[in-house]
Structure 1
Amino acid sequence: MKQDVALKILCSGENVFLTGSAGTGKTFVINKYIKYLKERRIEPAIVAPTGIAASHIGGKTIHSFFSIGIKEYIDDGYINWLTRQRFLGGRLRDLKVLIVDEISMVSPELFSSMDRILRAFKKSNEPFGGVQVILSGDFFQLPPISKERKEIKFVWQTNLWQNMGLKICYLEEKFRQDDEVLINILEEIRSGEVSEDSMDVFRSRYKKKLANNFNPTKLYTHNADVDKINEIELENLSGKSITFSATTKGSKKNIEKIFKSSLVAEEVKLKKEAIVIFIKNNYEKGYINGTLGKVVSFTEVGNHPIVEIFSGRKIVAEKDEWLLEDDKGDIKARVRQTPLRLAWALTIHKSQGMTLDAAEIDLSKTFEIGQGYVALSRIKSIQGLRLMGLNDIALKVDELVLEIDCEMKEISRLNSIEFRNLNEKELIETHQNFIVKCGGTIEEREIEENKKGIKKMAKDEKKSFKSEQPRGGTIEITKKMLRDKKTIAQIAKERGLAESTILSHLQEIKKLLPELDIEHLKPKAEILCLVLGKAKEIKNKKNPDDFSQDGQIRLRPIFEGLNEKISYEEIKLAMLFWKE
């Protein structure tokens, strides 16, 4: 199927499974659809199973968006508890479009949990509560990690998948890799038959030195190999290492559950110049699980690592928390540790969703079919491959996936014919009906205004990326609009920016101009009372973990202290009225 046909199907409001091999433009089509929706005043939810995948699509992790912690499966009691959480209500009840990227990595249990949560919030028995669901991914990628053998390991094997009425859109035209040799090899792996010519190519890349002695990202199958390489690389750096030890609270059994279900380590050794990866989401601090960077120094107080991420921004990696909660939301165990791991080498699982200029790949210990395909599809060109080894299963793919792949291609072909034959007028009407149903706009004038706003936002972001003091100009505009007594929602709409961005501007403006009158933005008395009361309580307790390096009260203890019933955005706004 061509990209333009797939986009027309998405715009029709159908539930869709968008698939295709690496480089066919799945993310491109998704981004076009997101832009189309935003231009019509519809805000889709964009989620993915891992932080790296979420960062590539500009979304959140599934666990974070649906507020299900480290769980895969949740029971009715937990769902009932979620429906009483005020901060989740608006987000899920108003949801019209859900986009799930890297669906191959979503377990059937997690898939079911998302469905059941949305049915509960929407009070609807339709799949996913009746919202449009776009699933994107490639089942030749790796399935979700599971410690137990399961009868059903892919979401397409579930009854839920069968009941969604999904339109299959299988993209077949290649756009990413500009290397015909690599494209051909990947297609052969997907077909289940790798030719001798392709094996000759692999032999030619065995331990091959890359151009300009380029030091590539190293991809390995096992954590033990990754850890060993990272330790050697750390040892090669000059200077003293600093060790960060985890602090824990709770029973040994529950603490072990946290360590087993996350990437947090009991001990982390770091040096200046170490390549690292963040292993937790912290939107407040500006990093997610999967953000890569380099340690450039350590703070004078507390010795916290200062990490420069690839955008050039520097983040102080203070200790973060991993919690284990029961179905009532009570905390059973807690681990506190620096949210970093060394990242010269990564596991193939962790690399999923990345695009690399070059990679050193070792498939000699491949233990799961599909690992070779995933690793090789990370690189742009065969010239960027340094192959350290292959074993017998490295280039194999799942027989079940091979079988379903042929079926999906045929269904997609029929869907393509059906939509290409539709009357243009009828198609436009279908698209408009869906937008109206979602509460969006079909007024051309308004759509054009929204387009300008989105373009302006992209331009502002580009400027802020390049500028040393990125947001000065854009903050000045926000400041003027605040003086005109405009609300956060009005400013966001007029400027084509997210409300969270305007709120960040507001925080910075209040630091510089504490006397600025923002009384018109004051939250409801009930919220203000709860937030400021909890802040006062935290201040009086004087627990150092509850304060940032500059002595400010962190948002998280307030959020948790109020049983997660008030959102971070509401807390941020209320704290602007905090008088110490």
Structure 2
Amino acid sequence: MKQLTALNILKLGYNVFITGSAGTGKTYLLQQFIRYLHKRQIYPTIVAPTGIAASHLKGQTIHSFFALGIRDTVVDNGYVEFLLEKSYLKSRFIKLKILIIDEVSMVSPEIFSSMDKILRAFKNSPLPFGGVQVVISGDFFQLPPVSREPKEKRFAWQSPAWKRLDLKSCYLDEKFRQKDNQLIKILDEIREANISQESRELLNSRYRKKLSGNTIATRLYTHNVDVDRINLNELNTLSTPPSAFKFTSKGSARNIEKIFKTAMILEELVLKKDAVVLFTKNNPEKNYVNGTTGVVIGFEEGSPLVKTSSGNIIRVVAEDWTLENDKNENVATVTQIPLRLAWAITIHKSQGMTLDAAEIDLSKTFEVGQGYVALSRIRDIEGLRLMGLNEMALSVDPLILRIDNPIKKASQRAIDKIESMTKKEQEKKAMKYIEQLGGIQPKKVTKKR
């Protein structure tokens, strides 16, 4: 499905599941939908299972928004009754009209059911999720929910609430991140659980391969302990003097803590000349996005100068990470340099990023999806230096294979349905839905003659 078709389906008020392989623009599509709503003075709530995932769309974690604490089981009736007594939660949920759930592959069925149960209680409605429009985005071939023990049911689509939502599926099929047919073939074969000998040989040819030119490779590892060790060791090997950058903040301690949980911000960032860094925020105007890599070439006026992989030299100034309340008002701000050391990062943290080049060690892969996520971060095969690979890295969960084709067929049905409507019918239904939500229609700008 094309992005424009999916956007038109979203505008009609349906519950929607947006999926597709890595790099098909799922986040970009959500950004377009959010922008469309904001222009009509409608402010959706955006949640995701982890802080980093939530930061991609300026959202918050599911556990924070739904007051789940550290629970990983379905909330019981007693806890829901306890939540119903909280006036701040009543105020929060009564205003909720559209819920966007991003990176759903990492959401467990228990957490998905808990969201449904809580919203039905607060909305006093038997409808799934209390009748709010639910927009779900993610790719089940990517990282699954973290689980302390093996479970028979571990994906959000296995929750009874998923089926009750009667979701319109939008399976995006146009790849924007990768233009390299060789890499696309490998990624597609992983999704089909059918790795060809040709693809295996191509991966083997990238083993400890020296990358061309001045390409800076971010090292991706499966375990935090390896990442921390590598970054600290590399920084300590530099003989240049360190420069430390401490965060500043405005707002309550509780709200500031929420920002730290939902973004890749360091309380103190220590840099040296020649340090390899990664940008942790999107700023297209200054030619960097979350995942752009570079090297610190010096410091100017108290700010680091970074030469990116593409050759741009950027004086990196502090940026704001903000937290908004239910009225879309800013209640807290954390200001820090949007960089972190990037000789190495975990594959888990890399989900959602686009990397210029990567040195990937998959020899300790312990979960399905890790290999696919790591390999799909890069734009082309020339940007890959493979340090190790085990068989788990190329495997996918059989359950995901089983549901993939039915989702594709459901997506085609959604295409057929919207294409059966005239443009005028679509616009009329979209306008009616905006009115139901209490939004406004933006004034059309007429060109002066």
Q: TM-score, normalised by structure 2?
A: 0.76
Return the offset for 1:291.
12
Matches of 1:162 and 1:311, distance apart in 2: 50
Per the alignment, residue 169 of structure 1 pairs with 170
Asked if structure 2 preserves the Cα contact closer than 8 Å seen for 1:118 and 1:128, the reply is yes
Task: Tell me whether 1:391 sits opposite 2:395 in the alignment.
Answer: no
1:433 counterpart = 2:432: yes
Does structure 1 retain, via aligned residues, the 8 Å contact 2:293–2:356? no
Aligned-residue offset at 1:236: 1.6
**Rounded Cα–Cα distance in structure 2 between residues aligned with 1:63 and 1:447:** 38
The offset of 1:292, in angstroms, is 10
CA spacing shift, 1:179–1:238, aligned 2, 3 Å:
same
2:182 alignment counterpart: 181
Residue aligning to 1:36: 36
Q: Is the 8 A contact 1:210 1:384 kept in 2?
A: yes
Spell out the pairing of 1:351-366 with structure 2 (5 A cutoff).
351-366=350-365
Q: Which whole-Å CA distance do the structure 2 matches of 1:167 and 1:369 have between them?
A: 26
CA contact (8 A) 2:355 2:378 kept: yes
2:112–2:156: 8 Å Cα contact kept in structure 1? Answer: yes
- Asked whether the equivalents of residues 52 and 291 of structure 1 are also in contact (C-alpha less than 8 Å), the reply is no
Counterpart amino acid of residue 419 in structure 1: I
The answer to whether the 8 Å contact 2:304/2:315 transfers is no
Whether the 8 Å CA contact 2:105–2:156 is kept in 1: the answer is yes
Letter in 2 for 1:197: E
Per-residue Cα deviation, 1:74-122 (whole angstroms, up to 9, x for no partner): 4444433433334333332111111111110111222122222222222
**Which residue is equivalent to 1:369?**
368
Q: 2:145 matched to which residue of 1? A: 144
Spell out, residue by residue over 1:225-256, the C-alpha distance to the aligned partner (whole angstroms, 9 max, x if none): 223323422432347999xxxxxxxxxxxxxx
Q: 1:316 to 1:418 in 2, by over 3 A?
A: closer
2:61 is matched with 61
CA contact (8 A) 1:307 1:314 kept: no
Matches within 5 A, 1:455-474: none
Mapping 1:444-483, distance limit 5 Å = 446-448=442-444
Shift of residue 165 of structure 1?
A: 0.7
- Rg larger in 1 or in 2? 1
Aligned length: 388
- Does residue 120 in structure 1 map to residue 124 in structure 2? no
Gaps of 5+ in 1: 243-261, 280-289, 297-305, 318-339, 452-580
The amino acid across from 1:353 in the alignment is G
- 1:89 matched residue in structure 2: 90
The match for 2:318 is: 314
TM-score, with structure 1 as normaliser = 0.60
User: What's the CA shift for 1:186?
Assistant: 0.9
Tell me, in whole angstroms, the C-alpha distance in 2 between the residues paired with 1:4 and 1:29. Answer: 8
SS of the equivalent of 2:17 reads strand
1:68/1:237 CA distance change after superposition, 3 Å = farther
1:198 corresponds in structure 2 to: 199
Aligned partners of 2:175, 2:293: CA distance in 1, in Å?
A: 27
Question: For residue 2 of structure 1, what is the aligned residue in structure 2?
Answer: 2
- Counting aligned pairs with the same residue, the percent is 55
Distance 1:215 1:343 in 2: 10
Q: CA deviation at 1:46?
A: 1.5
| Aligned-partner Cα distance in 2 for 1:182–1:417 | 31
Deviations 1:36-81 (A, max 9, x none): 2112221111122222222222322222333334433444444334
What does 1:315-354 align with in structure 2 at a 5 Å threshold? 344-354=343-353
Task: Please identify which structure carries the higher helix content.
Answer: 1
Superposed CA deviations along residues 7-29 of structure 1, whole A, max 9, x for unmatched, are 12111111010111112221222
Segments of structure 2 that go 5 or more residues without pairing to the other structure are 244-260, 281-290, 298-302, 307-313, 322-338
Counterparts of 2:413 and 2:373 in 1: how far apart (Å)?
A: 28
Partner amino acid for 2:362?
Answer: L
Looking at structure 1, the residues matched to 4 and 138 of structure 2 have their Cα atoms a distance apart, in angstroms, of 18
Instruction: Report matched runs for 1:43-58 at 5 Å.
Output: 43-58=43-58
- Separation (CA, whole Å) in 2 of partners of 1:96 and 1:194: 44
* CA distance in 1 between partners of 2:305 and 2:124 (Å): 45
Secondary structure, counterpart of 2:360 in structure 1: strand
Between the aligned partners of 1:129 and 1:354, the Cα distance in structure 2 is: 33
Paired amino acid for 2:65: F
The offset of 1:277, in angstroms, is 9.3
Report the Cα distance in structure 2 between the residues aligned to 1:240 and 1:71, rounded to whole angstroms: 45
2-structure distance, mates of 1:439, 1:190: 42
- Compared CA separation, residues 420 and 316, structure 1 to 2 (3 A): closer
Amino acid at match of 1:173: E
Look up the SS of the partner of 2:47 in the other structure.
strand
RMSD, matched Cα: 3.7
- Do the aligned partners of 2:177 and 2:354 also contact (CA within 8 Å) in 1? no
Change (3 A) 1:121 1:307: farther
How far did 1:156 drift? 0.7
